[in-house]
Structure 1
């Protein structure tokens, strides 16, 4: 066969001169710093990229070493690497390191170094290439920290990667040099591997002559032609294969310029495979917009779709319905059976909601046990009612897991809008307010939004915001309701009652904010503060009390969340030790007893507290969750009779018999019986007659400030029993 004609050569002298021109173009066109050193690691020559990096003449470094330029630690590492290369002849490839400077910011680089050999093969020094990857490292860190900004981060990473590509034959990237006729003038080994051809089969020929894939060829030749025509660099993306065999590539094309006149005489290309990067980016993009547990849309994607639906309404009138769904009993199941079962319940909830709605609708997990459904496109109010009914019915059906039959219900808030000027955030807020109204109605139901609910929600949110800062602003304080011995009406202790002195609202009742503190996860920090402050106050009173008198006690209310917190018993012990109180001086009152029975952490904490010697009281006994069955489940020392029974002591009926039975039961179990809400002399006399040991109520004393109770204690110890 006839051989292909020899490629035309630019008029630069003999073959050696031409190669030197090519080498100089390759070296000076590179964005990397390229340098040559002697056996003592002294600089012999540096590329122009050094000047672009430092603003100084590369010739100024001739004869110097890294110790004259960089920080000592980096210079020492570089010297050790180069001496090892000289000794062994083994190159150092793509070492990532932090390049430190005494007079400028540090930068991340990848360094490749090789032995510098004379014509006879003898090693006479080293040469290397330093690639600045600082922006790449920073971009990758930013992508990890902020998955929601992945799209823009990817563009930045791609731009940085394009700037960092090299034109060196030793690069892991596929590098090639084209002439003005799009013929190969140089290819490295990575290009040979990529094309599946030897360099001798490629030099002097075009990609079209090499029968490159037509789809890729169209993209590739268009990019090359653009660089030749404009002299401006560009990047192109292309892929080879399909499906599981698909491979993705990115290429950077830069002008190869004539060194004398600066005109474009060819193109330098650097190509790398980014298949794994693309897959990773696709996965991160999916994770940034979807909930990792349920696979549903997350809050970011939900709001994006809401904004899109509202934008469509500006072009074509319509109606959007948003359902805000909260699972009522999820926390109890999560605490009882663990997060694994809780996650399965969330997944099943998402599956049921998805089965209810149309493909054009959106189901999202908003956070925790909250879900949002957006009904878009031709949604009528009748359809909204029907969907809400199906949601409530579907989620009230039992869930099954490993033989467990689990029950939850859903409180659903709905908002309907035909206003395209509304915002997604407004719709979510209004539906959330309606959901809270559904909870207030008894749960397991739905509620449509009305403006009155917005005002109510705004007040609740204001309380939440203020409560989050109330502790640090020292707006919380304690009052103390004295606890009396009914036999002689001496003060034997006190119950700590929290008060919130709000700068604008005045004194806020615990009824208004304790539930909010529970919902928003503030109750543990508030409860810990109450425990510390109550024990501090008890220690102060005890220090002034006649040591011959019985030790005072302090009752503190605790919630299930506190008992479930890590090492709650340890926290209590630390508080008692800090204030030098005996464990028997502290009584922890429980009100959520039925819920506590299903919580392993709470039961363990109560057992630890009992071993510590702290007294445990069942509050509001006989009402709500507290019942006779719970006396066998908790290591309780104190039984508190609810005020609703005490109020019936002077009326016709069975109130007296009930109080007598409760008192007798407590005594049989060795418990101290305390009556709440004693307000009349008749109630007091009947309680004494029934053998009730202790009591509290407005007849005996209202909740008092610490200084007033201190005075009462001094009066009681010096002047006889107060009345």
Structure 2
């Protein structure tokens, strides 16, 4: 009911006091409701903090002032949680909301380069209107904030938080506040820790949206194909194992290499489902060879770092063994970055996961050793079976005597800890000779065999075991 002051005055002259009181109360209720609706439009629904509409209005006001005063150094920054779904499944929705609240407080109350901030919990975003004296300074400010928020503690639990930031300069065009936030959001989802918006990002975002729309149907239709790249004894050139790799033969997108879709899968958490599919296919391959009484070689399966914090991971891996009867011939390959030792909780969790996998009978391989993330604590605390030396260390050793010494010491270290040492990325005979001279007996690379589909790998095994 729309009751104005004229109505109240009329009632006051020609009606009872009770009617006048009723009209005044109705007017107050209407005004309170209107005020509450405005508040809801300006607040984030889950956190109660300022929402996107509020920030859009603040940007619009600033752009209006800027038009009157001339160009001003301002930008819009959007901070995005790329692993939002995985964080929710691991720590719960309330904890993730606390992460967004913490990020908002850092921007709104502590960052002197931030003017105003809002929360969009439904989009896993915090956005801010920020000062931009120059791109490099702003990028450094944002980078420092991401580092400061990388490990947060809630209720005694340390949470590793991956945040990506996108920036859109308000001086780029006459974009509306809504478009400025949208463009910054697209840049935030581009994969880099801090990214400025460009038209190329818009095109990339459109392709990533297509990937997201197709990936679940692609898994249901079994469009993801497993390729196998052989590992070999450099001395005898016999096949001693293989690494499983994935390719996506999409009905809608064509044939895609992992580089085209893995980042999107990691960002959305879909990589967890794909990992389970891949290891299931490798289990099936090994089981078929076992039933056919054919010789087996160990096959490594890459696992995303997100599994380290996944609640049901160990249970799922145990069920795989129960279904197929054994874990023989299955090697779990983890990169060094999967082991985050910056916090006590991460350290404890990583050790527990690897030890549990080892107790189940899985062989454990550390991938990408020597890429700059190495932590000797990993080698001393984790029951690792295989050390895979990254190709970059091999290439560096070809042209540097000092790097050659480091390569030899890394190989000696692996052997001294009882691990099999394999070097990946071998493409020349000279590299084989360098590795043999350094004490490495096993390798992987295009010189011996490229990744191949299952049928070709079956034939390859028959000729090279």
Query: Under TM normalisation by the shorter chain, which class is it?
Result: 0.7 to 0.9
Instruction: State yes or no: 1:351 paired with 2:100.
Output: no
CA distance in 1, matches of 2:140, 2:368: 38
Match of residue 583, structure 1, among 323, 327, 332: 327
Instruction: State yes or no: 1:371 paired with 2:142.
Output: no
Match of residue 314, structure 2, among 569, 592, 599: 569
CA distance in 2, matches of 1:461, 1:342: 24
Match of residue 237, structure 1, among 2, 7, 26: 26
Cross-structure match for 2:181:
428
Q: Cα distance, 1:673 vs. partner?
A: 1.4
Does the CA contact (< 8 Å) of 2:235 and 2:441 recur in 1?
yes
Alignment of 1:583-602 (within 5 A): 583-593=327-337, 595-597=339-341, 598=343, 599=346, 600-602=348-350
Instruction: State yes or no: 1:646 paired with 2:400.
Output: no
Choose between structure 1 and 2 for higher RCO, CA contacts under 8 A separated by at least 6 residues: 2
Match of residue 226, structure 2, among 478, 497, 500: 478
Cross-structure match for 1:672:
420
TM, length-normalised to structure 2: 0.75
- Structure 1 residues 236-294: Cα deviation after superposition (integer angstroms, max 9, x where no partner): 8366xxxxxxxx7x9xxxxxxxxxxxxxxxxxxxxxxxxxxx89x98898567533665
Alignment of 1:682-693 (within 5 A): 682-688=430-436, 690-693=438-441
Instruction: State yes or no: 1:216 paired with 2:21.
Output: yes
Alignment of 1:602-641 (within 5 A): 602-641=350-389
Question: Considering only CA atoms, is the larger Rg found in Structure 1 or Structure 2?
Answer: 1
Instruction: State yes or no: 1:658 paired with 2:406.
Output: yes
Cross-structure match for 1:411:
165
Name stretches of at least 5 consecutive residues in structure 1 with no aligned partner. Answer: 1-154, 156-205, 221-235, 240-247, 251-277, 376-380
Tell me which protein shows more helix as a share of its residues.
Answer: 2
Match of residue 326, structure 1, among 52, 56, 79: 79
Task: Give 3-state SS (helix, strand or coil) of 2:445's partner.
Answer: coil
Instruction: State yes or no: 1:392 paired with 2:145.
Output: no
Pick closer, same or farther for the CA change 1:553–1:356 going to 2, 3 Å: closer
Does the CA contact (< 8 Å) of 2:232 and 2:444 recur in 1?
yes
Q: Cα distance, 1:502 vs. partner?
A: 3.6
Cross-structure match for 2:51:
298
TM, length-normalised to structure 1: 0.51
Pick closer, same or farther for the CA change 1:657–1:297 going to 2, 3 Å: same
Instruction: State yes or no: 1:520 paired with 2:325.
Output: no
Name stretches of at least 5 consecutive residues in structure 2 with no aligned partner. Answer: 2-14
Alignment of 1:255-274 (within 5 A): none
Pick closer, same or farther for the CA change 1:408–1:596 going to 2, 3 Å: closer
CA RMSD of aligned residues (A): 4.7
Task: Give 3-state SS (helix, strand or coil) of 2:426's partner.
Answer: coil
Pick closer, same or farther for the CA change 1:656–1:392 going to 2, 3 Å: closer
- Structure 1 residues 464-522: Cα deviation after superposition (integer angstroms, max 9, x where no partner): 43445432343311100112234533323221101122446543221222112111211
Does the CA contact (< 8 Å) of 1:584 and 1:614 recur in 2?
yes
Instruction: State yes or no: 1:705 paired with 2:453.
Output: yes
4+ residue runs of structure 1 moved beyond 6 angstroms? Answer: 281-285, 306-313, 316-321, 327-331, 337-342, 381-387, 399-404, 406-410, 417-420
Q: Cα distance, 1:665 vs. partner?
A: 1.7
Pick closer, same or farther for the CA change 1:540–1:624 going to 2, 3 Å: farther
